Amino acid sequence: MKQPFSAILFDLDGTIVDSAPGITATLAHTFERLGLAIPTPAELVAYVGPPILDSFRDLAGFSFDESERALGIYRAEYLSTGVFNATVYPGVENVLRAIHESDVALSLATSKPEQPAKLILDRLGLLPYFDVITGASDDEVRSAKKDVVEEALERLRALGAELNNPVMVGDREHDVAGAAHHGIPTIFVKWGYGSPAEEVGTIAVAKTAPELQRLLLG
């Protein structure tokens, strides 16, 4: 693993915060409003991480129009209640603080739209640690992780950040593939929502926040 890293991109859901309770409750509300059977808790957790429109298509089997309708219901409920039901994973704030105090640029890179991402980070006191906040666009046109990573790199570059050796930190295969699309390696965190199979292609796996900090900063 090549160190030191010049810039770090962090996923949000399942990496920085446990946001599953708010997301799954909002999804249950959405299915109920649509007059559909509510998936099991285990099935709902599978929605956490990937772009929500992709999950409506791939997991619920919705058409484009059905997905758009579901998104409207989901977004309104999530911004009013679900967004506030998220907690920081143990020790992760210490990692973000250490990065902020170093010379390494830090960007969020989440498939969640930027508005709720900022609300979560601000409420938990984590927003000041980031140089850049990058997420999906409100219209979800930019939601694939590779597109979010590209936007994060562009924003970091505009700040004059050194990008010769960036790294992604995430918990799902979407993080790994999205970063790899730009030749960026991923450090996988074990405390998130991903399965062991999703670790394939990563350069390291962190089981605890202190271990992640050592991997990132030495």
CATH number at 7-18+86-217: 3.40.50.1000
Of 210, 170, 202, the closest CA to residue 189 belongs to 170
Whether the per-residue pLDDT at 196 is higher than 90: the answer is yes
Whether the per-residue pLDDT at 49 is higher than 90: the answer is no
Residue 202 contacts by C-beta under 8 Å, 6 or more apart in sequence? Answer: 176, 185, 186, 187, 188
Q: For residue 77, which amino acid is it?
A: E
Q: Is 205 exposed, middle or buried (0-12, 13-18, 19+ CB in 10 A)?
A: middle
Identify the DSSP state of 84.
Answer: G
What is d(CA 169, CA 185) in angstroms, rounded to the nearest whole number?
9
Provide the pLDDT for residue 51.
86
pLDDT one-digit tens code per residue, 166-191: 999 999 999 999 999 999 999 999 99
Provide the pLDDT for residue 77.
96
Q: Which residues are catalytic?
A: 11
Domain residue ranges in the chain: 7-18+86-217, 20-84
Provide the pLDDT for residue 1.
74
Q: For residue 61, which amino acid is it?
A: G
Q: Quote the mean pLDDT of the chain.
A: 95
> What are the residue ranges of helices labelled H in 127-180?
145-158, 173-180
Q: Are the C-beta atoms of residues 113 and 139 closer than 8 Å to each other?
A: no
pLDDT one-digit tens code per residue, 198-208: 999 999 999 99
CATH number at 20-84: 1.10.150.240
Tokens linked to 218 = 């030495």
Whether the per-residue pLDDT at 109 is higher than 90: the answer is yes
